Amino acid sequence: MMARTATRSAAPAAMTTPAQLERLGEHLRKLRLLKSGERLEALLQHAASHELPYADFLEQVLGEEVAAKTSKNIAMRTAMARFPFVKPLETFEFAYQPSLDRKQVLELASCHFIEHGDNVIVLGPPGVGKTHLAVSLGLKAIEAGYRVLFTSAAHLIATLTKALTEGRLEEKLKLFTTPRLLIVDEIGYLPIDRQGANLFFQLISRRYERGPMILTSNQSFGAWGEVFGDRVIATAILDRLLHHAVTLNIRGNSYRLKEKLKAGLIRSHDSESQPGGEI
Ligand SMILES: Nc1ncnc2c1ncn2[C@@H]1O[C@H](COP(=O)(O)OP(=O)(O)OP(=O)(O)O)[C@@H](O)[C@H]1O
Ligand SMILES: [Mg+2]
């Protein structure tokens, strides 16, 4: 009697009838496995010609589907984050900013600060890469599965002020408290009135010890009293922000200057007169 040999490979494509392909396509559509629907025929043919074991075939189909869904989800959350530009951390030249601790930034990129509910505050003069770092860390957070929202301090306060006059403050505060990570860029460029400072304080209080934030500012903490037009509110804001926080103080030259130098728009000794910008 002949021993039955176990077949290791998935059924060859030739054995898949058009009607069966149709049914498989329908199942995949119903399960919203769209990538698998697109790739099914090609994957079946590949499995047959390479005599792929069943488990390998299934792993390939599911692996491609998961990869497609993950990248779609990342793209969607990146669009929802409303970044001013999308620049991954890998494009940041650490060599140009020696005052920045690369290891510390890479540790932040692991997103443990989000799990711990810590804030990150990036200080430095114009052009040193504060927004770039904030965006790059935001992108890492998105890759790690978090929801992120980017806003400027001016836009945040204008939105809350308008909401207050329209009786929709609660709704707008929720908008800024629900994302797991909130990035507030450019604290200090535009003066904030008393009402704006109060609204900002309300938001900080709500996120305190719950939702981590990344904030950037061109002003040292000592100058935040002037930024918020009220020393008492500024102290209350800083007290909460700094309770669990990592501060990155960048003391280098503007990267915009480097780009101008490269383009020959200014001579190199012009750059020497630019402030190094310790804040
Ligand atoms: N170290 C760096 N490596 C690569 N690109 C950089 C670096 N620093 C800054 N850049 C680029 O230079 C430009 C200015 O940087 P960015 O907008 O992050 O500066 P900033 O500190 O936020 O300045 P500002 O205070 O004026 O808003 C951006 O295009 C940014 O991508
Ligand atoms: Mg900026």
Select from 209, 202, 219 the least CA-distant residue to 241: 209
Of the candidates 75, 94, 122, which is a domain's last residue? 75
Kindly tell me if the per-residue pLDDT of 10 is higher than 80: no
Average pLDDT over residues 51-78: 96
Q: Looking at the domain assignment, is residue 182 inside a domain? A: yes
Number of domains the chain contains: 2
Say if residue 145 is in the same domain as residue 206.
yes
Say if residue 86 is in the same domain as residue 205.
yes
Q: Looking at the domain assignment, is residue 259 inside a domain? A: yes
Q: Looking at the domain assignment, is residue 10 inside a domain? A: no
What residues line ligand 1, using a CB cutoff of 6 Å? Answer: 87, 91-93, 96-97, 124, 126-132, 186, 218, 255-256
Select from 34, 150, 161, 31 the least CA-distant residue to 84: 150
Q: Looking at the domain assignment, is residue 11 inside a domain? A: no
**Alpha carbon separation from 57 to 43, 52, 62 (Å, rounded):** 8, 6, 9
pLDDT at 259: 75
Q: Looking at the domain assignment, is residue 264 inside a domain? A: yes
Range with the lowest mean pLDDT among 124-138, 217-231, 259-273?
259-273
Q: Looking at the domain assignment, is residue 197 inside a domain? A: yes
Kindly tell me if the per-residue pLDDT of 253 is higher than 60: yes
- Six-digit token string for 106: 């890479």
Say if residue 68 is in the same domain as residue 114.
no
Whole-number Å distance, alpha carbon 131 to ligand 2 midpoint, is 4
Residues 158-197 pLDDT 10s: 999 999 999 999 999 999 999 999 999 999 999 899 999 9
Say if residue 151 is in the same domain as residue 259.
yes
DSSP string for 184-206? EEEETSS---HHHHHHHHHHHHH
Say if residue 165 is in the same domain as residue 122.
yes
Residue with tokens 């920045």: 100
Say if residue 26 is in the same domain as residue 128.
no
From 132, 227, 249, the mutation candidate for ligand 1 (largest count of ligand atoms within 8 A of CB) is 132
With cut-offs at 50, 70 and 90, classify the pLDDT of residue 272: very low
Give the C-alpha separation, 63 to 60, whole Å.
Answer: 5
Residue 255: phi, psi to the nearest 5? -70, -25
Q: Which domain holds residue 135?
A: 82-272
Percent of the chain residues past pLDDT 90, beyond the cut: 84
Say if residue 38 is in the same domain as residue 104.
no
Say if residue 71 is in the same domain as residue 131.
no
Q: Looking at the domain assignment, is residue 6 inside a domain? A: no
Say if residue 126 is in the same domain as residue 261.
yes
Say if residue 34 is in the same domain as residue 143.
no
Whole-number Å distance, alpha carbon 3 to ligand 1 midpoint, is 70
Say if residue 111 is in the same domain as residue 235.
yes
Give the C-alpha separation, 82 to 84, whole Å.
Answer: 6
Residues 28-64 pLDDT 10s: 999 999 999 999 999 999 999 999 999 999 999 999 9
Say if residue 112 is in the same domain as residue 233.
yes
Average pLDDT over residues 116-127: 96
Distance, first Cα to last Cα, the chain: 88
**CATH classification at residue 168:** 3.40.50.300
pLDDT at 6: 44
Residues 195-239 pLDDT 10s: 999 999 999 999 997 899 999 999 999 999 999 999 999 999 999
Kindly tell me if the per-residue pLDDT of 110 is higher than 50: yes
Closest Cα to atom 25 of ligand 1: 126
Q: Looking at the domain assignment, is residue 134 inside a domain? A: yes
Q: pTM, whole model, 2 decimals?
A: 0.85
pLDDT at 266: 62
Give the C-alpha separation, 30 to 40, whole Å.
Answer: 15
Atom of ligand 1 nearest to the CA of 216: 22
Residue 112: phi, psi to the nearest 5? -60, -30
Of the candidates 53, 75, 97, which is a domain's last residue? 75
The one-letter code for the residue type at 141 is A
